[in-house]
């Protein structure tokens, strides 16, 4: 499947509360594969459906060092989080090249459906717990910047705006043409 376009902040898709998936069918399996392909293409650890403009409660994740443990989570719900917290640098594919120190519970226990429609439970710690919580936040219209103070959020958004403007300008630059180069030699 082709990789999907990732929506950047402040796209409204990122703030919507998403719909539960009622039936696991071919469309849902195709969405899961699209999410995996997109996540892997950009070397992400996780990706939620609203980040590609689909308002469904699904995300994919692979935090393994060799990137060989991709998982699909449908209609996930956090059942319990630890009282212990960890503060660590966090980024988001919808905020390219932006990172911030975010405090989250160090572990979580969730329920979700797999691609066969079976209800599963999982316990996650460390990086996986952080990723699961980050992606479930996306499904509820919550972004990682919402965990920052107003000042830190404002500064990060300002940096993002500069980065996106720079990227936009770069994409508008004329491409060097071999034909033009050859014409200039004659």
Question: What is the set of active-site residues?
Answer: 135
Burial of 109 (0-12, 13-18, 19+ CB in 10 A): middle
Beta strands in 3-66 (DSSP E): 46-48, 58-61
Helix (H, G, I), strand (E, B) or coil at 120: strand
The set of residues, in sequence order, having a beta carbon less than 8 Å from that of 175 and lying 6+ positions away, is none
Measured distance CA(30)–CA(119) in Å, rounded? 20
Measured distance CA(112)–CA(77) in Å, rounded? 6
Residue 79's CB is within 10 A of a number of other CB atoms, namely 12
The set of residues, in sequence order, having a beta carbon less than 8 Å from that of 48 and lying 6+ positions away, is 35, 58, 59, 135, 138, 139
The set of residues, in sequence order, having a beta carbon less than 8 Å from that of 151 and lying 6+ positions away, is none
């Amino acid at each position: 499947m082709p990789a999907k376009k990732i929506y950047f902040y402040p796209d409204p898709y990122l703030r919507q509360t998403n719909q539960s998936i009622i039936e696991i069918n071919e469309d849902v399996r195709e969405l899961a594969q699209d999410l995996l392909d997109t996540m892997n293409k950009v070397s992400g650890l996780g990706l939620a459906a609203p980040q590609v403009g689909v308002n469904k409660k699904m995300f994919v994740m692979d935090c393994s060092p060799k990137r060989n443990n991709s998982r699909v989570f449908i209609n996930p719900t956090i059942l319990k989080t630890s009282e212990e917290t960890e503060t660590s640098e966090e980024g988001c594919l919808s905020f390219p090249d932006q990172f911030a120190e975010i405090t989250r519970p160090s572990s979580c226990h969730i329920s979700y459906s797999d691609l066969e429609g079976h209800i599963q439970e999982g316990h996650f710690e460390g990086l996986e717990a952080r990723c699961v919580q980050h992606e479930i936040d996306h499904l509820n219209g919550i972004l990682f910047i919402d965990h920052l103070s107003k000042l830190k959020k404002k500064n990060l958004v300002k940096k993002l705006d500069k980065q996106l403007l720079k990227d936009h300008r770069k994409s508008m630059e004329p491409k060097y043409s071999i034909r033009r180069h050859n014409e200039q030699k004659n």
